[in-house]
Amino acid sequence: MKKVLVSGCNGHMGQILCRLINNRPDMYVVGGVDTNTTNGEKYPVYSNLWDADRLGCKTDVIIDFSSPEATSSLIDFAVAKEIPLVIATTGICELDMTLMRKAAIKIPIFYSANMSYDVCVFKRILEVVVPLLQEADIEITEEHHRRKADSPSGTAKMLAYAINDNLDIVREIVYGRTGKRGVYEIGISSVRGGNVCGTHTVHFFGENDILEIKHTALSRDVFAEGAIRAAKFLLEDGRAPGFYTMDDLF
């Protein structure tokens, strides 16, 4: 059985991830890292990764569902210990993306703004649709629960980048528009409330009709399942150092 260390184990997503891992026959949670070290489960929780290592917690892979503030130290630890790393935390900045790509020269790193496999399929659909609707006004709306820290979501940004990659003329990405819509824009609007797991819709507005492509997460389990799939991918025999995404699972 493969040993998994979960960063952010006592957060909402971390708890879901640990539950799903420990229901599997091929891996188990060997330990967790969290600022809240309270633990009612069957694995130890450490305040930081270095304490986990010093106290004998050895792992085959790290899965991170913590916070962007912990990303740089997490990468440093994984590189120092040569441990494959799955980063499923949202709100990652460009500096951390650069650190990830640099670290991927030495270890396998898997990152996605959204760990849902179906969202990756959504992106693939856009690669087909966008070139056919070059004249449409394109807007993205995203809805999440009231506790979500980042806005707009990383997934919304990912979809906007994917749209621009498939347009003949790159458009300006506008967050939370307040004035008149420009011709060459992709607007992203965010809605926060209740306990919404995550809904993303890309709207193509034509003169006489509207096409919408939509993904709705019905449970947060889908993100944890995607992170587990990513970890299994990194643990496959012979997985070389590199920067991997959901696209590599196809």
Residue-wise pLDDT tens digits, 133-176: 999 999 999 999 999 988 999 899 999 999 999 999 999 999 98
Q: Does domain 2-115+220-249 have CATH number 1.10.3720.10?
A: no
Instruction: Return the pLDDT at 149.
Output: 85
Same fold? 2-115+220-249, 117-216: no
Domain ranges of the chain: 2-115+220-249, 117-216
pLDDT of 250: 80
Q: For residue 155, give the DSSP letter.
A: H
**pLDDT at position 107, please?**
98
SS3 of 46, please? strand
Mean pLDDT, rounded, for 70-96: 94
Cβ neighbour number for residue 201 with a 10 Å cutoff: 17
φ, ψ for residue 90, nearest 5 deg: -95, 165
**Is residue 42 predicted with pLDDT exceeding 90?**
no
Q: Which of 105-109, 110-114, 202-206 has the lowest mean pLDDT?
A: 110-114
Give the pLDDT score at 91.
83
**Residues classed as catalytic:** 144, 148
Q: Which CATH number is 117-216's, of 3.30.720.110, 3.40.50.360, 3.30.360.10, 3.40.47.10?
A: 3.30.360.10
Mean pLDDT of 203-214: 97
* Least confident among 76-80, 88-92, 170-174: 88-92
User: How confident is residue 97, by pLDDT bands cut at 50, 70 and 90?
Assistant: very high
Integer Cα distance of 8 and 31 in angstroms: 11
Please tell me the predicted confidence (pLDDT) of residue 216.
97
Q: Is the pLDDT of residue 49 over 90?
A: yes
Coil, helix or strand at residue 91? coil
